[in-house]
Amino acid sequence: MKKILFILAVLMPFVCDAAQKAKKEEPVVHLTDEQIYTELKKLASVFEIARDKFVEEADERKMLEGAMNGMLAALDPHSSYLSADDFKEFNDKSHGEFGGLGIQITSDKGAIRVISPIDDTPAAKAGIEAGDYITHIDGEQVFDMSLNQAVKKMKGKPGTTVKLTIVHDGNEPKVMTLKRAIIKVKSVKFSEKSDAAAMDDDKLPKIGYLRVSDFGATTTKELNEALKDLEKKKVAGYVLDLRNNPGGYLTAAIEMSDAFLDGGEIVSTRGKEKADIERMFAKPGDLINGKPVVVLINHGSASASEIVAGALQDNGRAIVMGSQSFGKGSVQQQKPLGDGSAIHITIARYYTPSGRSIQNEGITPDIEVLQSKVETLEKKESLFTEATFNNSLKNDASSKKDKSKKKDSKKTNKSDDDEEEDYLSLTDEEKDARDYQLQRAMDMVRALSKFGKKNLEKVEEEKSSETKSDDKKSSEKAKTK
């Protein structure tokens, strides 16, 4: 049975994808008003027959909501009908607190796929990853289940449990039991980081680290507070970590991009009509005064994350590192229907400043850095150097301490058992050291800050020499007079 479910989970997206592509190639044939009226009469007839003839007592509200959901789901994976309860839950979630597992999902060709787990939530702690397929919720198959139905089944009273069947990277299905919790989303976490391999080296510049888990109503405020704090600490540059960030409010993405830009276009949205184009621009004032920025993305970075990465990339304001992003380049809007319910519908595509559509393509990093595990093959202190000679001359200016050498030797002599230590029990510094993408991003920020500092010193030196030259010429002219 498990093997059958596994084959279904793997093959179904490809079969549906082929069918979807074939369908997309067919031109849209619009109905006349008379034909639309005839089809609506047919829909009413289907409703009446189903209600009267179904073997059990039919729930009319459920039937009608299902019809509306099916109608919108036929457009794209992100359009849906929101009942009054769904709409309220959506707004509660957007304002920073909601109940459930802390997992962002999407409909993927009839299946439910994880866009990203949210940091520090039951889903993230259980090891669910971006790209995983959910095949069952509490033993019930989710194929062709609407997103709202799937979300409702995963939500529940805090402290209760739910079983998810997960397919990860083509492996056999795995059943996970997760405990529901109140999800309090703090969008922005920040810290001042240094090289994890040289914690005692005061000469290395400190890096401002900004981890943004999603784009909610409080994200801009949290970002401004974080930048204010880190700027006081005089960090050399910033790593903006948007990995596994599923997106959120468009306005929050625009405001975040604006914080790092001194001008230029951020994003444009283009609707159904050719004239339906809206462009958003950055206001003057870079909150970090031109310091270098590296943006980290991966396949779990979607929507609003891609807007920020694309805006900073196209404006030449940041280097984007990591792996190809998710590729959700569409904008959704809630249209209330007057009775507490609403429609969540795709109204436009968004484009980066250079005119690139991200839909189905994603953001391509300037420097591809895939998450890797690095094995140390050489000791920091080489086995054979000038210093190994018994009678070699000492370096009086050396600031290295025996204590730091001992630390290095301990690090290089780690056993295989240490490498298998539970990741969740590690300190933040140890986690940083294992995060290959983060380490490479920090290296890049240091290099850029050093390069920028040298250029700045060169410019100031040239200005100073020009000033001295002008003063000398003025003095000579005065003497001649």
Active site residues: 303, 314, 328
Give the largest CA-CA distance in the chain: 112
Contact 310, 342 (CB under 8 A): no
Tokens 């604006």 found at: 258
Q: Compute the distance between CA of residue 133 and CA of residue 420 in angstroms, rounded to an integer.
A: 26
How far is it, in rounded angstroms, from Cα 383 to Cα 403? 18
- Residue in 234, 260, 241 with CA at minimum distance from that of residue 190: 241
Distance CA 188, CA 199 (A): 24
CA torsion through residues 211, 216, 220, 224, sign:
negative
Residue 271 structure tokens: 């609707």
In Å, what is the CA distance from 143 to each residue of 5, 14, 16, 110? 11, 14, 12, 5
What single-letter DSSP state applies at residue 248?
Answer: B
Pull the structure tokens for residue 464.
């100073």
DSSP 101: -
Residue with tokens 């929101």: 82
What's at 229, amino acid-wise? Answer: D
Pair of tokens at residue 241 = 């970590």
Report the alpha-carbon distance of residue 463 to residue 458 in Å, rounded.
9
CB atoms within 10 A of CB 195: 18
Token match 């991966």: residue?
A: 298
Which residue(s) pair with 269 in the sheet? 278, 350
Backbone φ and ψ for 207, nearest 5 degrees, come out as -110, 135
Q: 203 with 258: CB under 8 angstroms?
A: no
Nearest Cα neighbor of 303 from 333, 338, 329, 321 is: 329
CB-side neighbour CA atoms (13 Å) of 266: 24
Secondary structure string (H, E, C) spanning 105-122:
EEEECCEEEEEEECCCCH
Indicate the angle between helix axes 250-260 and 219-232, nearest 10 degrees.
Answer: 20
d(CA 343, CA 337): 7
